[in-house]
Amino acid sequence: MSNQIRRELPRDPEVRALILQAQGLHLSRRKLLAGAGGLGLAGLLAACGTGGGGGGGATATTAAVTDISATDKNVFWANWTLYLDYDDKTKQYPTLQEFTKRTGIEAHYVEDIDGNDTYYGKVQGQLAAGQDIGQDIITLTDWMAGRVIRQGYTQKLDHANIPNIKNLLPALQKVDFDPGRENSLTWQSGYAGIAWNKAKYPKGLRTVSDLWNPDLKGRITVLDEMRDTIGLLMLDDGVDIASAWGDAEFTKATDMLTKQINDGQIRQVKGNSYKEDFISGDAIAGIVWSGDIVQMNFENDDQWEFVIPEAGCTLWSDNMMVPIASPRKTNAEKLMNFYYEPDIAAQVAAYVNFISPVHGAKEAMEKIDPSLVSNPLIFPSDTDLAKAHVFRSLNADEETKYNSQFQTAIGA
């Protein structure tokens, strides 16, 4: 367990909901090659970085943007919750403080993303109009990153300002949603699996179907990210989510989800804010993201256990991008470059406990917290990676159809 100071969560879910309005850890769950364990981390992450991602929406109005980075020493960054190292004593982000010390650029960081679809809905109108959304970096999952890049909602990166891009894991350097990494850089990767409160449910879970046990009725949360929740349900039903499955398999999974919601088995469907239900005790088990449980355990006396279901889990990645009308692109690129230094990447990984995309971070971790070098949620084993699957790429029509079907299932 990391000895880094972890962030305490606001307890009031309404306050958190107001603070958060946005994302969902999805990630591109692209085609997973057979025999993922033999591929190792690089091979599986490569699979994760393939697949275009669908979805409609207007393309952006071309924006005439003047980069004011030379005179405006600020950078604004929107990210998911609990996704950057935080010192609870000083109420500061140590690596952001170091970035400002080195560059003179003041970083303004907000945990504004609770789900990919919700955040997209929040900013899409402004992006389509070529307007500044007030953020110089946004952090979205592969499939959504592919959508906003395709729609022209991002600015092309100047790699000359990001020399540390050389430290990006080789398997993540080539992704088909962003050839040449012209518009995005990976922030972190991770799993979606299942977890439970060990004291309140000592018999534990091994499969997704275990979540439907009668003694868990009304105490279950699942993620509002379609690829993670439906992906796990499909895997539990024996479907290879990387293969050419179709309407029948997807509908069977959404029918199961609808049944469990209507029967009261599932308490709520949420993005990142599901953690509040776990901490309050309103939920004692559910479909979750791997790093969240490690963080919550550090702050709350190791109350929960995360496992990869017997049928497998999903794998995702999130990406940093510069929105179309950001006037501080150079500052944003300098921040990206900073976080691709192995020592800095290791410091972040020690806090967030997700898979680091930076080559050299594992070696740097030896100096920060040697106990984490063997943490499989940061530096996965081939055994665990063999159980991780990437949700296949959807075309635009499928994206629209399946998203609509999922939203209907969860009553959104």
3-class state of residue 53 by DSSP: coil
Query: What's the CATH number for 13-189+315-380?
Result: 3.40.190.10
Residue 31 pLDDT: 22
Helix then strand then coil, in percent of the chain rounded to 5, is 40, 15, 40
Angstrom distances, CA of residue 177 to CA of 84, 146, 174, 200, 280: 25, 5, 9, 43, 39
Domain 191-314+395-409 classification at class level: alpha beta
> What sections of 74-141 are H helices per DSSP?
94-103, 116-128
| Lookup: tokens for 342 | 């192995």
CA gap 211, 216 in Å, rounded? 7
pLDDT digits (tens, 9 = 90+) for 56-75: 556 766 667 999 999 999 99
Residue 57 pLDDT: 59
Q: How far apart are the first and last CA of the chain?
A: 37
pLDDT digits (tens, 9 = 90+) for 128-148: 999 999 999 999 998 899 899
Amino acid identity at 221? T
Model pTM score:
0.73
CA gap 411, 257 in Å, rounded? 11
Write down the domain spans for the chain. 13-189+315-380, 191-314+395-409
Q: Is the Cβ–Cβ distance between 304 and 296 less than 8 Å?
A: yes
Residue 42 pLDDT: 57
CA gap 77, 84 in Å, rounded? 11
CA gap 157, 383 in Å, rounded? 36
| Lookup: tokens for 387 | 């159980």
Q: Is the Cβ–Cβ distance between 321 and 152 less than 8 Å?
A: no
3-class state of residue 19 by DSSP: helix
Residue 63 pLDDT: 61
Which residues of the chain have a pLDDT value below 70? 1-58, 60-63, 412
Q: Decide if 13-189+315-380 and 191-314+395-409 have a common fold.
A: yes
